[in-house]
Structure 1
Amino acid sequence: MTEIRHEPVAPTRTQWLAPGSDIDAHRHDDHQIVYAARGVLAVTTGAGTWIAPANRAIWVPAGTVHAHRAHGALQLHLVGLDVTENPLGLDAPAVLTVEPLLRELILAHTGAPGHDDSPERRRLRAVLLDRLAASPQQPVQLPSPSDPRLRHICDTLYADPADRRTLAALSREAGASERTLSRLFTAELGMTFPQWRTQLRLYQALVLLAEDTPVTTVAHRCGWASASAFIDVFRRAYGHTPGRHLPRGR
């Protein structure tokens, strides 16, 4: 069994990760905010994967075993918070909206020397915590199934997000009825089959966009009937068009 690294103090710093690189599974005794100012970040725990483009951050509670993966060149900003500092009152990972002021606060805080305990830095941190408390949560998560029949369906779609078969058609391969699988999606993953598939496609779309894949190609590979349909769903999920995520501004 792989040993989980234990780093008692969650660091506050800025670092770059190359495309496709990972930070292996570990845990902190502190809470942590993880924000990618560039690229797309995926944080995986035992409960699933949380995805954060550049207008989202991920809240990782103290004690949570988690791993990071970079999609595209990742400019990573880490904010460690003492276990007593929980402005959102959350005990599970969550994706948070990063509005412009919060973004600048995170960049300024992680860019300052970690040992600096000046009055200016304390004031900056206090405002950052205030803005975090007001940050809405976003449903940008791919939960992990435990039932083997459900896992078969999810793995099939992971391999090919453009697979357009219905749950009834996929259920014949999984050895369970459509009704059983539909119930499992709701019970285990907290969402319906169409909702989970849309989340998967959006996740894969973010990964492809971070790799500088054209929008039309992303729409096709992820199963949308047209680029316009993809853009509409993407805009409703993230508040802007997918072209904003192309590294070279295609």
Structure 2
Amino acid sequence: MILKSGQSAVVPRPCSGDFDLDRSDGPAVALRVDFADYENEVPQHRHRPGQLILALHGAVICTAANGLWIIPPGFAVWIPGGVPHSNQVTPNARLSYLFVEPGAVAMPQSCCALSVSPMLREMILRLADVPDRYASDDHIGRLVRVLLDELALMPSGGLELPVSDHPKIAVIGAALAADPSDRRTLREWAMHVAMSERSLKRLIRQETGLTFGQWRQRLHLIVALRELASGATVQKVSGDLGYESATAFIVMFKKALGTTPGRYFASQF
């Protein structure tokens, strides 16, 4: 899978079906997970409630349906109930999970990234610190009602990489994930997968909605955000991605995300 990193896949209790999602009678339940205590890759799984994965520190990469999302601090990914997904986190990641009962709040029916307000973040953390069983009319029940109202108002955010199971694109994606500094042109990739350049150009646009250059840049940004969130320097990340200088990388980053890497992460805390 794209962007595989860290330790081998072991299902940690708080992130998988071993965690009892039915232990609360309320419409939502939350918990915190510090991945210093667990393996940092959660294989594909699904669960009945919808799930919001909120990054508190570090970053998480969620793969589901036909997309891949990078979630740095201040953002979250929404996964509707029943959707298969897998998560990969940086070793320093601290996350909060919010599980929401079906029908408890009007949320998108497909996976999406959301920008999370400081108030919603604090409400989720508060819910994670209280007993899972609560009455609808007690303090926590009222908190949950406001929390879900706020959740429905959160704007989209984060960074998504459209993925495709088409074998030609999968070959290119796997190669770029293994070596993000690979600078082969579209013509060279077309020769590699035995297609004409025009046909490959059309296929990539059809499968991802992006041009090849946009798609590769999006992958670079996802790799960069993951590594920067885990503590890597701009100099190391720019070198790993094949940029001639850190300045060239910062220019690309600012053009794509509207700010420099340092300011981007400073604004999330």
* Fold equivalence (TM over 0.5): yes
Q: 1:6 touches 1:28 (CA, 8 Å); kept in 2?
A: no
Relative contact order, CA 8 A, sep 6+: which one is greater?
A: 2
**The one of 216, 221, 227 aligned to 1:197:** 216
Is residue 2:72 matched to residue 1:53? yes
1:9 alignment partner in structure 2 = 21
* Structure 2 residue identity aligned to 1:79: L
1:73 aligns to what?
92
Provide, for residues 143-187 of structure 1, a one-character-per-residue CA deviation record: whole Å limited to 9, x for no partner: 322222221221221121122222112111111112111111121
Shifted more, 7-16 versus 31-40: the winner is 7-16
Q: 1:55 to 1:124 in 2, by over 3 A?
A: same
- Aligned partners of 1:221 and 1:58: how far apart in 2? 27
- 1:24 aligned counterpart, secondary structure: strand
Using structure 2 for the length normalisation, give the TM-score.
Answer: 0.80
Query: Which stretch has the larger CA shift, 54-63 or 107-116?
Result: 107-116
Question: In the superposition, relative to structure 1, how do residues 202 and 145 fare at CA in structure 2: closer, same or farther (>3 Å)?
Answer: same
| Superposition deviation, residue 93 in structure 1 | 0.8
2-side partners of 1:17 and 1:91: how far apart? 28
Deviation per CA, 1:211-249: give whole Å up to 9, x if none.
3221112122123343234334434555653236889xx
Work out whether residues 20 and 71 of structure 1, in 8 Å CA contact, stay in contact via their aligned partners in 2.
Answer: no
Q: Structure 1 residues 115 and 244 mapped into 2: Cα distance closer, same or farther (>3 Å)?
A: farther
Q: Which has the higher strand share?
A: 1
- The corresponding residue for 2:165 is 146
Alignment-derived partner of residue 12 in structure 2: none
Flag the 1:134–1:46 CA change in 2: closer, same or farther, 3 A.
closer
What corresponds to 1:87 in structure 2?
106
Q: Secondary structure at the match of 2:114?
A: strand
Match of residue 138, structure 2, among 109, 115, 119: 119
Gaps of 5+ in 2: 1-15, 23-28
TM-score by length of 1: 0.85
Deviations 1:27-67 (A, max 9, x none): 11111111120111111224232210002100000101112
* Corresponding position: 1:213 with 2:243: no
Once the two structures are TM-superposed, the CA of residue 7 in structure 1 deviates from its matched residue by 7.2
Number of equivalenced pairs: 243
Percent identical across equivalent pairs? 34
